[in-house]
Amino acid sequence: MTGQVRTVDGRVAGRRGQATRQKLLDCLSEMLSSSPYRDVKVIDVARKAGTSPATFYQYFPDVEGAVLEIAEQMATEGAQLTALVEGRNWVGKAGWAAAEELVEGFLDFWRANDAILRVVDLGAAEGDKRFYKIRMKILNSVTNSLTESMKELQAKGKVDKDLSPAAMAGSLVAMLAAVASHQKGFQTWGVKQAELKPNLALLVHLGITGKKPTK
Amino acid sequence: MTGQVRTVDGRVAGRRGQATRQKLLDCLSEMLSSSPYRDVKVIDVARKAGTSPATFYQYFPDVEGAVLEIAEQMATEGAQLTALVEGRNWVGKAGWAAAEELVEGFLDFWRANDAILRVVDLGAAEGDKRFYKIRMKILNSVTNSLTESMKELQAKGKVDKDLSPAAMAGSLVAMLAAVASHQKGFQTWGVKQAELKPNLALLVHLGITGKKPTK
DNA sequence: TCGGTAAGCTGACGGCATGACAGGACAAGT
DNA sequence: ACTTGTCCTGTCATGCCGTCAGCTTACCGA
């Protein structure tokens, strides 16, 4: 499917090579969590991985290239987020549960990958299509499912027809992503995690169904 | 109030110095719009401003320091966003108008300052308190006003009392900020600007009042 | 008009990251 | 032990960073 792993100069990487490569990715990932993206240097990553800068450049064109790789891996895992929405029933108590679990799952995923997601967000906002695509890959899985759910509700006449499901789903998902990436901020400020989740769930429910949830 | 403008080594800047300083800030601002934050180099900014790198370091400790300056200026202008919420009536038609104008004003402000806001967002997400403070300065003006509005509605019994106004306002503002910073993305994808705004306004209205708007 | 003083700017330099290359180290098969 | 292809590193040219001494410019009081 994805073809073999190759070095920058075209050689196929063997077992040892792949291990080194992965170690570099892991170290980079760690560095992204601990220091500003702008200050992450190839030489530091290489040192941390117990190798030399030259080795880094054998597997990646530059830091950005390696980041894209990590992001790609994460995006693949992120596809599982679809499961949070797909086949859900948005009516009655089940609807409230669906909203709650969506919020929960989303925040968890974001917390687990916050460092790399920050960089992806920045890249996407700066207009880099490669990052944008990755961000889409993650968000689309949720957005599309939500859009479908809303369309169904519209078809049954339970939601105003003049709403754009895509825009609504997109806005909700953007909200979740934004809140998720500033979770620490909310905490530092006055808002507790416990208060945040029900509010988000409420907004999601209101947005999708147009009605207050029955808890 | 703000004291005099000073160089890094403590001298007070005169008229000429301030002009140079401002020119550097303008050029930096421009560069942030046209190239990735990570790739903005002091030497490029200096060249663009028709001066030397050494001059840059006379006024700013580093690129980040200069960015903070720009962000500070923007945050001051951003305080006017409060006007979009303060003293608003959220009942009936006026409520819908309030929601619409809030969304409109927010997206406009973001579009006008997207480059610097991206960087502020990143800095805040990375945990830098200085950037976080600036982000707060902008968002708080809106968040606090919204929180007050909700509390009033709660006092009148028009909104559930078990909701946290702060969390709700924070979530809504975070949503607006997120959607605003990915406006281009939404367009590139299938969602049109014209569809986006009413949906956001609807969500804001639903979140604040708990009810569907009367248009 | 004429210094004197402080502001303003720059050339130059050591230091470090980048990115390329060639050659040596290593593992696996014969 | 030898060969082959993979893997790593020493080294080097290049370019940016951040700092300093020192030069130029503007302002001001005598």
What pLDDT, on a 0 to 100 scale, did the predictor assign at position A108? 93
List the structure tokens of A150. Answer: 């809303």
> DSSP readout, B15-76?
HHHHHHHHHHHHHHHHHHHHS-GGG--HHHHHHHTTS-HHHHHHH-SSHHHHHHHHHHHHHH
What pLDDT, on a 0 to 100 scale, did the predictor assign at position A18? 85
What pLDDT, on a 0 to 100 scale, did the predictor assign at position A2? 46
> pLDDT-derived band of residue B190, with 50, 70 and 90 as boundaries?
low
In chain B, residues 177 through 196 whose Cβ sits under 7 angstroms from any atom of nucleic acid strand C: none
Q: Which of A198, A112, A208 is nearest to A158 (CA)?
A: A208
DSSP state of B13: P
In order of A50, B1, B75, the CA distances from A5 in angstroms are: 21, 60, 46
From CA B146, how far away is CA B157, in angstroms rounded?
Answer: 17
| B128:A36 CB<8 A | yes
B210 touches chain A (CB under 8 A): yes
pLDDT > 90 in chain B, percent? 61
How many Å does it take to go from CA A67 to C1' C10?
Answer: 38
Q: Say whether pLDDT at A9 is over 50.
A: yes
| A114:B136 CB<8 A | no
Q: Which of B64, B124, B195 sits opposite A185 (nearest CB)?
A: B124
Which residues in chain B (170-199) have CB-CB distances under 8 A to chain A? 170-172, 174-175, 177-179, 181-182, 184-186, 188-191, 195-196, 198-199
What pLDDT, on a 0 to 100 scale, did the predictor assign at position A155? 93
Q: Taking all residues of chain B, what is their mean pLDDT, rounded to a whole number?
A: 89
A156: Cα separation from own chain's centroid: 32
Q: Taking all residues of chain A, what is their mean pLDDT, rounded to a whole number?
A: 88
Q: Which of A97, A103, A11 is nearest to A59 (CA)?
A: A11
The structural domains of chain B, ordered by start, are 15-61 (1.10.10.60), 72-209 (1.10.357.10)
What pLDDT, on a 0 to 100 scale, did the predictor assign at position A13? 66
| A185:B37 CB<8 A | no
> DSSP readout, A66-128?
HHHHHHHHHHHHHGGGGGGTTT---SHHHHHHHHHHHHHHHHHHHHHTHHHHHHHHHHHHTT-
Q: Say whether pLDDT at A1 is over 50.
A: no
**Closest protein CA to C1' of nucleotide C6, residue:** B11
From CA A141, how far away is CA A168, in angstroms rounded?
Answer: 15
Q: Say whether pLDDT at A80 is over 60.
A: yes
Which residue on chain A is closest to B31 by alpha carbon?
A: A126
Beta bridge partners of B6: B12
Q: What is the mean pLDDT of residues A55-77?
A: 93
What pLDDT, on a 0 to 100 scale, did the predictor assign at position A190? 64
For the ranges A13-17, A114-118, B51-55, the lowest mean pLDDT is seen at A13-17
From CA A176, how far away is CA B96, in angstroms rounded?
Answer: 23
Q: Say whether pLDDT at B119 is over 60.
A: yes
- Distance from the Cα of B23 to chain A's closest Cα (Å) equals 23
Beta bridge partners of A12: A6
Q: Say whether pLDDT at B191 is over 80.
A: no
From CA B132, how far away is CA A182, in angstroms rounded?
Answer: 10
Which residues in chain B (96-125) have CB-CB distances under 8 A to chain A? 114, 118, 121-125
Q: Which residues contact B64 (CB under 8 A, 6 or more apart)?
A: A38, B123
| A189:B136 CB<8 A | yes
